[in-house]
Amino acid sequence: MQQAEKKIAADNWIEVGRVGDIPRLGARVVCTRDGDIAVFRTADDAIFALRDSCPHKGGPLSQGIVHGHKVACPLHDWKIHLDSGLAVAPDEGCAARFPVRIDGDAIYLSLTPDDACPNK
């Protein structure tokens, strides 16, 4: 087990849990030394991971209402695209996106955010 985890870590993938651990249209948080990462599950069972910090004023996106492939920030209701981390226009900004891989039922998360986004 430990060894398997190390191997994946070498590829930068960490197993964080099962799809069933997250409620549909909900999110859970992965706590890291560099801050929380929100892992979302949509109605169609797609999994996305974003920095748990809204580009507006840092609201915890994991606590928002998930709808389609978007989440509404709980503090001031900005909508954020889960697949890109970008705020839904006309709002502007971006929550860093973390690569996710599903293997069977297991969720693997990479802790290296995509370069595309200034909010890391």
Query: Least CB distance from residue 119 to other proteins, whole Å?
Result: 16
Out of 22, 73, 95, 96, point to the residue binding ligand FES (CB under 6 A): 73
User: What number of other Cβ atoms are within 10 A of residue 10's Cβ?
Assistant: 8
Residue written as token pair 């006309």: 90
Q: Do 114 and 96 touch, CB atoms closer than 8 A?
A: yes
Nearer of residues 25 and 101 to other proteins, judged by Cβ: 25
Query: Least CB distance from residue 106 to other proteins, whole Å?
Result: 12
Quick note: the x/- pattern for ligand FES over 18-57, rule CB under 6 A, is: ------------------------------------x-xx
- Beta pairing partners, 41: 26, 47
> Virtual CA dihedral for 102, 21, 95, 55, nearest 10 degrees?
170
Residues of this chain that interact with ligand FES (CB under 6 A) are: 54, 56-59, 73, 75-78
